[in-house]
Amino acid sequence: MKLIIVGGVAGGATAAARARRLSEDSEIILFERGKYVSYANCGLPYYIGGEIEQRDALFVTTPEKLERRYRIDVRISQDVIHIDPEKKEIQVRHLETGDVVVESYDRLILAPGARAVKPTIPGIDNGNIFNLKDVTDTDRIKAFVDTHDVSDVLIMGGGFIGLETAENMGRLGIRVTMVEMLHQVLPQMDYDMAVHVHQHLREQKVDLVLGQAVEAFNTQNGRIRAITDKGLELDADMVIVSAGIKPERELAESAGLTIGSTGGIHVDSHLTTSDAAIWAVGDVIEVTDFVSGQQTQIPLAGPANRQGRAAADNALGRPDAVGGLLGTSIVKAFDIVAAATGMSEKRLKKAGYAYKASFTHSLNHAGYYPDATMVSIKLLFSPDNGKILGAQAVGGEGVDKRIDVLAVAIQAGMTVYDLQELQLAYSPQFGSAKDPVNIAGYVATNILKGDVEVLHWHELESFAEGEYMLLDVRSPEEVSEQGMMPGAKNIDIDQLRHHLDELDKTRRIVCYCTVSMRAYLACRILTQKGFQASILSGGWMTWLPIQADREAQQQG
């Protein structure tokens, strides 16, 4: 049997190695258009910034190692330009010589990945404007930084690569401006969680320009000037474009393979395309969302590797189905970590799902142990049975642990009630007797059981003036030091029972504190005394970053 694999990075290299382990006698040829195979895309910004010192550390393996260990015929710098499914042949152009050859196959796995989006903006072909998608891009950027006096860099795009590049440029002492056409970074997250990242980026002296798109570049005094659609002019020594990726679907499309509604190659649960002898994996395909069941694209290394393994199994006659994807992802920018799994609130709204949300802010480990930091969690769940639909977490140490637990919970079909019962490892250095995941479960369960009525920050804005009263139940010292929401009345939770006569039973009372724990207690006291009481979900720690971000965007 002759197996040809197109694309040699994550999914393709994994498929090739797996195929050899399953079949010692098969002929396996891997074509890669670039010069390198099986390299760590996610590590590229860290090599530029010097966190990864050795370039060779970026490579999981090399063509020589694949040939030596797995007896795989690896052909780099060779571009597959056509597929003839009827003849079971491909045409391949050697990029160094221009020669075109025909190669037959019995089975074919497509793993061409995706290419960086290059917006059609006047002036974008300036030599000081770079993409960051592969090793060649990385080498160009690093060489430019190492040989030029770069004081300012402009980064277009606030996704994973944009944030990681911002961190690493900052590490080199370069001033960073980030331009994002949306009003938030990290589009896979909700705005009310992304604002924590905004706040930290600004603290790290990153100039955030949100809600604006670059519409032109020109050269001013040897530097690049970017002009946004709102007329803002931004000067930099270099620009890194991180405006997203697009599936490399053209090869499949020209071969008559079915392209899905999202723009990726359509495959079934066995990763088979519309041609029974061709499979496809990685960034080039559309996948099924685990929660919604809808088709989507999730360009992540983890799923691509899993798909490569499964496609090799299927191509060699060992049926292996892949399930829907959660899109669990995580990114670090300077000292903040942001992670998500499952559906976001904006995606749930778009899909027409009924849902409830909760915000919690808990320390990553026992507060009495040194260096505890806050982990903020947004939980999205079904109002009917509490089934978990999605989660986001932002903070420092421990975010990765919590999002992984929540990802497993979603995949296992668990509910918020189950989160209360999770028996997670506890020692003061690593967690708390009530882990942040447990706390998220407790709060969500309180909502579902009707123990407390929750209002979210954006819901307050829908009320008419005077329709509710804000009650701040923090201590007077906290209020004096930190401030208070406009129009709020302050009564310390420890004094609340003695001041009930100061409150109006005809108006809704919205209680808040720092993270909502004392507000929950206040709400329980008030509702049992005949008041209409609700809590502001997430309290001051949810509301304040949002207000600060709105002000910063208005000023910017």
Query: What is the average per-residue pLDDT within 1-5?
Result: 98
Catalytic residue among 42, 511, 513, 523, which?
42
- Could you give the percent of the chain with pLDDT greater than 90? 95
Q: Please check the confidence at residue 542 and state whether its pLDDT lies above 80.
A: yes
Report the alpha-carbon distance of residue 10 to residue 40 in Å, rounded: 8
Sign of CA dihedral 353, 339, 327, 283: positive
Q: Residue 180: what pLDDT?
A: 97
Report the alpha-carbon distance of residue 477 to residue 492 in Å, rounded: 10
Identity of residue 284: V
Q: Please check the confidence at residue 374 and state whether its pLDDT lies above 80.
A: yes
| Dihedrals phi, psi of 285, to nearest 5 degrees | -105, 160
Q: Residue 387: what pLDDT?
A: 98
Task: Tell how many helices (H) and how many strands (E) occur in the chain.
Answer: 16, 30
- The alpha carbons of the chain give a radius of gyration, in whole angstroms, of 26
Q: Please check the confidence at residue 212 and state whether its pLDDT lies above 90.
A: yes
Q: Please check the confidence at residue 465 and state whether its pLDDT lies above 80.
A: no
pTM of the model: 0.95
Residues in contact with 384: Cβ distance below 8 Å, sequence separation at least 6, in sequence order: 354
Q: Please check the confidence at residue 25 and state whether its pLDDT lies above 90.
A: yes
**In contact, 379 and 414? CB cutoff 8 Å:** no
| Dihedrals phi, psi of 412, to nearest 5 degrees | -85, 0
Average pLDDT of every residue of the chain: 96
Identity of residue 352: G
Report the alpha-carbon distance of residue 251 to residue 256 in Å, rounded: 9
- SS3 of 527-545: the string is HHCCCEEEEECCHHHHHHH
How does residue 489 score in pLDDT terms, banded at 50, 70 and 90? very high
Report the alpha-carbon distance of residue 552 to residue 534 in Å, rounded: 29
Q: Please check the confidence at residue 262 and state whether its pLDDT lies above 90.
A: yes
Q: Residue 48: what pLDDT?
A: 95
Q: Residue 552: what pLDDT?
A: 93
| Interval 103-136: pLDDT, tens | 999 999 999 999 999 899 999 999 899 999 999 9
Tokens of 46: 């860290």
DSSP per-residue codes, 97-123: T--EEEEE-SEEEE---EEE-----TT
Identity of residue 392: Q
How does residue 277 score in pLDDT terms, banded at 50, 70 and 90? very high
CA angle at 338 for the pair 369 and 37, rounded to the nearest 5°: 120
Q: Residue 39: what pLDDT?
A: 87
Tokens of 404: 């992984």
Q: Residue 460: what pLDDT?
A: 87
Reference 357, options 469, 473, 493, 516; nearest CA is: 516
SS3 427: coil
Instruction: Kindly tell me the burial class for residue 428, based on how many C-beta atoms sit within 10 Å of its own C-beta (0-12, 13-18, 19 or more).
Output: middle
| Interval 63-117: pLDDT, tens | 999 999 999 999 999 999 999 999 999 999 999 999 999 999 999 999 999 999 9
| Dihedrals phi, psi of 521, to nearest 5 degrees | -65, -40
Q: Please check the confidence at residue 464 and state whether its pLDDT lies above 80.
A: no
**In contact, 271 and 279? CB cutoff 8 Å:** yes
Tokens of 550: 């709105």
**In contact, 194 and 184? CB cutoff 8 Å:** yes
Q: Is 523 among the residues known to form the active site?
A: no
**In contact, 66 and 30? CB cutoff 8 Å:** yes
Q: Residue 221: what pLDDT?
A: 84
| Dihedrals phi, psi of 83, to nearest 5 degrees | -125, 135
Let me know how long the chain is.
556
